[in-house]
Structure 1
Amino acid sequence: MSAHPGIDRGHTDDLMAFLRASPSPYHAVGNAAQRLENAGFRQVEETAAWDGEAGGRYVLRGGAIIAWYVPEGASPSTPYRIVGAHTDSPNLRVKPIPDTGAHGWRQIAVEIYGGALLNTWLDRDLGLSGRITLRDGSHRLVTVDRPLLRVPQLAVHLDRSVNSEGLKLDKQRHMTPIWGLGEVEEGDLIRFVADETGVAADEIGGWDLMVHSVEPPAYLGRDRELVAGPRMDNLLSVHAGTAALVAAAARTGLDAIPVFAAFDHEENGSQSDTGADGPLLGNVLERSVHARGGGHEDKARAFAGSFCLSSDTGHAIHPNYAERHEPGHHPRPNGGPILKVNVNQRYATDGSGRAVFAAACERAGVPWQSFVSHNAMPCGTTIGPITAARHGISTVDIGVAILSMHSARELCGAQDPRLLAKALTAFLEG
């Protein structure tokens, strides 16, 4: 099998391992935290007093993580350089009363999370992941990474028009996975989860569970120049941001405090205590200022001098639907990260942000591309405008161009994850 020239697969191999080990936002932040711990960062509790000493720290809350590195000599008004991302992906999430079924089939009741491409969850082997909350308030991760559930599609013999008129799925009636045969038993799923995690069922007080595709990430194509895998939107950026912060923390002479912020709930509006529209990032940054002896004036100066790169996936040119893309802007796989622009502020990029991003890419030796939506197509959005508006921090939206966004399995260039990480590292290093 030939190898595509110029592709350094080390970073992408590591991304693929990260994707497989992170079937839920809770797994993703746990894996990012472990990488930070290995690099000398330490966790601080939000309920504890913080010190202003130099070094790396991080805060975990649910499916979100905020990490930062205070260099030697940082003052209370030292600005921040922030890479923002999100940990959640569209999927199917378990309802509060999960056990259901009909006609001899045992099923699991699910709710659609985010803007999932529903048809991509059909006839796919699915596992179960997330977390349970015990009665003492502690959490346990749930990882059932084997074929457990399936959403079966109706046979073509019973839907003769499906190929001519298109597939029509009712979110309530058609997306309920099966997981066995027999009569429905109340509490069956939670008893199963308890056995899988090694706890007593009556100790489980709550759960945040979801399904995931168990098919592993893989290189694709004649020359293996593409990568197919789950949750690239947006764990690709979470992985790159973690790597960039670790690399920046190893440098000396930093003139800003590098920060990595990965939020939950971006796919449904970011309005939660772990979302970008919540107070978490602002609280962490402000407390860091105070821990270094600063006050309100120092915080205002630090925020005014700060900058954020909001990193999220964007749309690569689709060869079968080129008319859906803006004619003058066709991002291509392995062409480097994309700068996302929307003058109606669905993305936060302006000309000043473009200059900052371009300078970081130039320092990193990384090519980059521009993306703007077709005028006749609604434009998506990110945590970028939220971050800019909530904290008054200059923000630019960037990312990696992919196909099949919001599918259970997405596609990107094999070189682009490494190029993104290099650009983010150069940005954090200033």
Structure 2
Amino acid sequence: MSAPHRLDRGHTDDLMTFLAASPTPYHAVANAAERLEKAGFRQVSETDAWDAETAEGSASGSGGKYVLRGGAIIAWYVPESAAPHTPYRIVGAHTDSPNLRVKPLPDTGAHGWRQVAVEIYGGPLMNSWLDRDLGLAGRLTLRDGSTRLVNVDRPLLRVPQLAIHLDRAVSAEGLKLDKQRHMQPIWGLGNDVRDGDLIAFLEEESGLGAGQVTGWDLMTHSVEAPAYLGRDKELVAGPRMDNLLSVHAGVAALTAVAGGSELPYIPVLAAFDHEENGSQSDTGADGPLLGGILERSVFARGGSYEDRARAFAGTVCLSSDTGHAVHPNYAERHDPTHHPRVNGGPILKVNVNNRYATDGSGRAVWAAACEKAGVPFQSFVSNNSMPCGTTIGPITAARHGIKTVDIGVAILSMHSVRELCGADDPHLLANALVAFLQG
């Protein structure tokens, strides 16, 4: 089956819109769900009993389904030709990015400055957060147990850097930041720091009454918009490419293939939260979310445990996450024979110590998808002298016994508040994912 359409630079334009509208994992999955709804997908509740119609779609077999849980979303489309033992083709990604997150007691300050107490989430390049105009966004939990998304997308906070006159050695010795003492942003003036000020401000911003908010999951974000960069606009600079670039591509690919009645696999998007701090949560890849939903889909369609085992044995997951493009100023940090370049196509990530899940048979699956899509791909391995990062790939493979292949888009400035990719790579990735999901 050929791809229903070819994604191009218009996909990259749309990626920039998605990045700007998704300052938190909660916003990212809400925006993904909205796109899925427009493509005919419908939300199902984990607390409801699932029958064949719940798992598959409407009585005619059309339409896909998705589950939302916190900052994670699992979406799937069951073609009419699928049996209970039909394997899945999964695009896996994550919704979270390193940032500064608000502490339980957020109101603090000193020496006439009002500040917000934050905790470091994941492994950000902390210097990239200095002297940035920051907004504040996240999820508010109300007294009645409901939730409300909030996004103050204007300059509200700033982590000011110490002037060079007070740190003369910084240029020669490098910037040294203490995560506790140096990363607390300012947001106003005043000697009287009152508990509840920040939350009261957010209640007012959200049109809520005083005292309605009893819980919060809040984080900072740069308010600078994504933009094309360079003489010929060959590059894109923007926030949270790691890893909303893959989430966006996965949504585009899943909606592109949904509707096909003769697909040999059941296409799935699994976008998890908390990858940046180990994936060990109820919405992380190391939790039961994906396995539980896939199993319920099998059983709701009349399948047995044997059908579930057969389906999982034939399933393949592409763990799609950003990787490292060769850096022109630090080429010695890369493997000397593997230099992925931006706009050279997506990368296949390999590590024989299983920091990535790719093996030779997985490479063949990926190569076949890229060949079908007419998309070039590159290979990435770490310099033997440098530690290798990891992804949801090995976790997914080990937890579910699913063949998993690590791929993604090569970028610069990973974990910076503002990252950099090639303008063509996002749509090249999405086209390869379409071919993979189609089988």
Q: Shorter-chain TM-score category? A: over 0.9
Q: Which of 77, 80, 83 is the aligned partner of 1:69? A: 77
Contact between 2:81 and 2:263, CA under 8 Å: does it hold in 1?
A: no
TM-superposed CA distance for 1:202, in Å, is 1.0
Q: Partners of 2:136 and 2:210 in 1: how far apart? A: 17
TM-score w.r.t. the length of structure 1 is 0.98
Contact between 1:82 and 1:260, CA under 8 Å: does it hold in 2?
A: yes
Q: Partners of 1:423 and 1:262 in 2: how far apart? A: 18
User: What do residues 274-299 of structure 1 show as CA deviations (whole Å, max 9, x unaligned)?
Assistant: 00000000000000000100111110
Q: Gaps (5+ residues) in structure 2?
A: 1-6, 54-60
Task: Give 1:22-421 correspondences, 5 Å limit.
Answer: 22-53=22-53, 54=61, 55-182=63-190, 183-421=192-430
TM-superposed CA distance for 1:136, in Å, is 1.1
With 196-205 and 255-264 compared, the bigger mean Cα shift is at 196-205
Q: Partners of 1:192 and 1:32 in 2: how far apart? A: 28
| Secondary structure of the structure 2 residue equivalent to 1:131 | strand
TM-superposed CA distance for 1:201, in Å, is 2.9
Q: Partners of 1:244 and 1:251 in 2: how far apart? A: 13
TM-superposed CA distance for 1:250, in Å, is 3.1
Q: Partners of 1:8 and 1:52 in 2: how far apart? A: 36
1:20 aligns with 2:28: no
Q: Partners of 2:349 and 2:51 in 1: how far apart? A: 37
Contact between 2:79 and 2:259, CA under 8 Å: does it hold in 1?
A: no
TM-superposed CA distance for 1:205, in Å, is 1.2
TM-superposed CA distance for 1:164, in Å, is 0.3
TM-superposed CA distance for 1:200, in Å, is 1.6
Size of the alignment, in residue pairs?
Answer: 424
Q: What amino acid is aligned across from residue 60 of structure 1 in structure 2? A: L
With 7-16 and 335-344 compared, the bigger mean Cα shift is at 7-16
TM-superposed CA distance for 1:135, in Å, is 1.3
User: Hey, what does 1:3 align to over in structure 2?
Assistant: none
TM-score w.r.t. the length of structure 2 is 0.96
Contact between 2:81 and 2:261, CA under 8 Å: does it hold in 1?
A: no
| Secondary structure of the structure 1 residue equivalent to 2:370 | helix
Q: What amino acid is aligned across from residue 51 of structure 2 in structure 1? A: D
Contact between 2:411 and 2:421, CA under 8 Å: does it hold in 1?
A: yes
Q: What amino acid is aligned across from residue 43 of structure 1 in structure 2? A: Q
TM-superposed CA distance for 1:78, in Å, is 0.6
| Secondary structure of the structure 2 residue equivalent to 1:98 | strand
Q: Partners of 1:348 and 1:201 in 2: how far apart? A: 49
Q: Partners of 1:9 and 1:56 in 2: how far apart? A: 26
Q: Partners of 1:284 and 1:297 in 2: how far apart? A: 16
Q: Gaps (5+ residues) in structure 1?
A: 1-6
Contact between 1:331 and 1:370, CA under 8 Å: does it hold in 2?
A: yes
Q: What amino acid is aligned across from residue 102 of structure 2 in structure 1? A: V
| Secondary structure of the structure 1 residue equivalent to 2:104 | strand
Structure 1 segments of 4+ aligned residues over 3 angstroms from their partners: none
Q: What amino acid is aligned across from residue 114 of structure 2 in structure 1? A: R
Identity of aligned residues (%): 81
RMSD: 0.8
Contact between 1:190 and 1:201, CA under 8 Å: does it hold in 2?
A: no
